[in-house]
C-alpha cells in the first residue's frame, strides 16, 4: 500500500534559520508529490508539486523541495524562516501518475518559528 511518512510532528526553528521538513513515501511507481500548507483557521493550499522533469521544484514563499527517487524522499526546505511561515505542512502523494488515484496525505508537521 502507498504511504507517506512525515518525520517529526512538530519542528521549531529560529527566525532566519533553515527550515527542513522531511517527507518519505512508498510507491511502486514514480508518483506525483505535493506539499500543502495550512495556516491557522484556514484550508490547505498548494505550496509546490513534483510531477515529471526537474527534480528540484520551487514553490511559493521561497520554499523548495527535491524529489530523490533513490531515497524515496521529497523534503521541503527554505533557507531562511520567517515568522509568517508558522503553519502546518502536509506532504501528499498521488500514487498513480495521471488522472487516477486519490492523494494520500502524511500526518502533518507543525512548524513553529521563534523570534
Partner 1 sequence: DADVTQTPRNRITKTGKRIMLECSQTKGHDRMYWYRQDPGLGLRLIYYSFDVKDINKGEISDGYSVSRQAQAKFSLSLESAIPNQTALYFCATRASSNTGELFFGEGSRLTVL
Q: Which is nearer to partner 1, 18 or 69 (CB)?
A: 69
Q: Which is nearer to partner 1, 25 or 32 (CB)?
A: 32
Cβ neighbours of residue 77 under 8 Å, at least 6 residues apart? 18, 19, 20, 21, 63, 64, 65, 66
**Shortest Cβ distance from residue 115 to partner 1 (Å)?**
25
**Shortest Cβ distance from residue 104 to partner 1 (Å)?**
9
**Shortest Cβ distance from residue 108 to partner 1 (Å)?**
5
**Shortest Cβ distance from residue 79 to partner 1 (Å)?**
25
Given phi > 0 = left and psi -120 to 50 = alpha, else beta, which region is 70?
alpha
Which helix H or strand E contains 91, and what residues bound it? strand 87-94
Task: Note whether 107 and 8 are within 8 A (CB).
Answer: no
Q: Which is nearer to partner 1, 41 or 70 (CB)?
A: 41
**Angle made by CA atoms 95, 100, 103, in degrees to the nearest 5:** 50
- The pair phi, psi for residue 104, each rounded to 5°, is -110, 125
Write out the residues near partner 1 by the rule CB under 8 A: 9, 32, 34, 41-46, 49, 51, 90, 94, 99, 101-103, 105-108
Q: Which is nearer to partner 1, 73 or 94 (CB)?
A: 94
Amino acid at each position: 500500500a502507498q504511504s507517506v511518512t512525515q518525520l517529526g510532528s512538530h519542528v521549531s526553528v529560529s527566525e532566519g534559520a533553515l527550515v527542513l521538513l522531511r517527507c518519505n513515501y512508498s510507491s511502486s511507481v514514480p508518483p506525483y508529490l505535493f506539499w500543502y500548507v495550512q495556516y491557522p483557521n484556514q484550508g490547505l493550499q498548494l505550496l509546490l508539486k513534483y510531477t515529471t522533469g526537474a527534480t528540484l521544484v520551487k514553490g511559493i514563499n521561497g520554499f523548495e523541495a527535491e524529489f530523490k527517487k533513490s531515497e524515496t524522499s521529497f523534503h521541503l526546505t527554505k533557507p531562511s524562516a520567517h515568522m509568517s511561515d508558522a503553519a502546518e505542512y502536509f506532504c501528499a502523494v498521488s500514487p498513480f501518475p495521471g488522472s487516477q488515484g486519490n492523494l494520500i496525505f502524511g500526518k502533518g508537521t507543525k512548524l513553529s518559528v521563534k523570534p
